[in-house]
Amino acid sequence: MAKLIKTPSVIKAAGNKEKIIKEYIGNVNSATSEVSIALMKSPEGWEEPGQTPDFNEYTFVLRGTVRVKTRTDEYNVAEGEAIVTFKGEWVQYSTPYKAGAEYIAICVPAFFSQTVKRDK
């Protein structure tokens, strides 16, 4: 049966500055464990701890630039571009540039705080 999602759940983000996460589909807002889809808005200078998640993450940048670091590479993902990071791969996201960024994050399976495995 179809399920209309009228509003997202706002989720507290990890990182050095306040970031807005609006989960439309996922464990919190729709009790969906197969996938999560969230709209992210992060300010200039935001950075989260590194992580080694148990999910693939598909990131599509709507505005600004998201910096994505892995153990071997660093990517500046600009407006209109996308990046895929894979389960078990260490990754760190940040928005160091002016005006921050707005982007969509899709996690498969869905994001769950116990499966993100953030650095300590």
> Is residue 82 situated within a structural domain?
yes
- Give the Cα separation of 88 and 24 in Å (integer): 25
Q: What is the pLDDT of residues 9-23, one digit of tens each?
A: 999 888 999 999 999
Say what the alpha-carbon torsion angle 31, 108, 106, 54 is, to the nearest 10 degrees. 100
Q: What is the pLDDT of residues 37-58, one digit of tens each?
A: 999 999 999 999 999 999 999 9
Q: What is the pTM of this model?
A: 0.93
Residue 83 CB contacts under 8 Å (≥ 6 apart), including other chains: 58, 59, 66, 68, 75, 77
> Domain containing 73: what range?
9-116
> Is residue 3 situated within a structural domain?
no
> Is residue 2 situated within a structural domain?
no
> Is residue 1 situated within a structural domain?
no
- Give the Cα separation of 81 and 120 in Å (integer): 30
> Is residue 14 situated within a structural domain?
yes
Q: What is the pLDDT of residues 85-101, one digit of tens each?
A: 999 999 999 999 999 99
CATH number, domain at 112?
2.60.120.10
Number of folded domains that form the chain:
1
